[in-house]
Amino acid sequence: MIIDIQKAYDFTGKTFAVTGGAGALGSDVVVALAEQGANVMILDLRLNGVAAIKERLGKRASQIDACEVNVLNRESLEAARDAIHQRFGTLYGLVNAAGGNSPKATASPTMSFFDIPDDGMRFVLDLNILGTFMPCQVLAKEFAETGEGVILNYSSMNAYRPLTNIAAYSAAKAAITNFTAWLAVYLAQNYSGKIRVNAIAPGFFLGEQNRFLMVDKDTGNWTPRGQKVIDHTPMGRLGNPEDLIGCVLWLLSSASEFVTGITVPVDGGFSAYAGV
């Protein structure tokens, strides 16, 4: 049977939760899902971006809602779960877009790796690893009960090729790639083959966290680090948030119903290029 592609990307009646959904990358996922008919609950520690998302959606703004959530706090996640049920009903999909790095966990000319404080490393490891584990435990437990659902985690190029200076972040993203494969097998073998777990590994996207590592704030030119990234990206540019959407929607849709346990690079060819 040939799949009906148009139907596969119709999420009408399905409910998704997006952690980090008010952020730069997460907000585009929220908009894309809503535009395909989904109901979406934004889960974020800061909700100041929600108004802009609703404005982008126009008439579809009624399909989204938001909860202030700390992905490292189980009670916060449980409250979000209850809010999702009350607002939209049964949860079908979970996108774990929350994560990030910290200057306190980044080696630099003024701070050697050997001097990185424990709390800096713990923050980055917890935010990325536990911040993915715990939403899966609290929110995706419902999939084990209903027998279907999709989870999409956010890994990174750092999981494949660790970047200089950001040891904790690189290790955390590698753990997410590994956890994605583990959870995919666990859920399929113990609960249902209709529960799928995958991840994307974004390449270099310009955000507030890395803007002035990549671009000189005075001249607007690439920094030496930014130029290295461009030189090692065959497509010759940084990613735009919308570059992720095609892959995200595919992995969340029934068009990929036989795909689980993988991490897909979305990186302009960075992971394919050896530099020569």
Question: In the chain, helix, strand, coil percent, each to 5?
Answer: 50, 15, 35
| Six token digits for residue 160 | 């494949």
Residue (of 161, 148, 146, 145) closest to 197 by Cα position: 148
Q: Mark whether 169 is an active-site residue.
A: yes
> Within 13 A of 212's CA, how many CA atoms are on the CB side?
4
Q: Which among 91, 198, 206 is positioned nearest to 155, based on CA atoms?
A: 198
Strand order in the sheet with 39-44: 64-68, 39-44, 15-19, 93-96, 149-154, 195-202, 263-266
Output Rg (C-alpha) for the chain, integer angstroms. Answer: 19
Query: 92, 154, 169, 191: which is the annotated catalytic residue?
Result: 169
Q: Which residues are catalytic?
A: 169
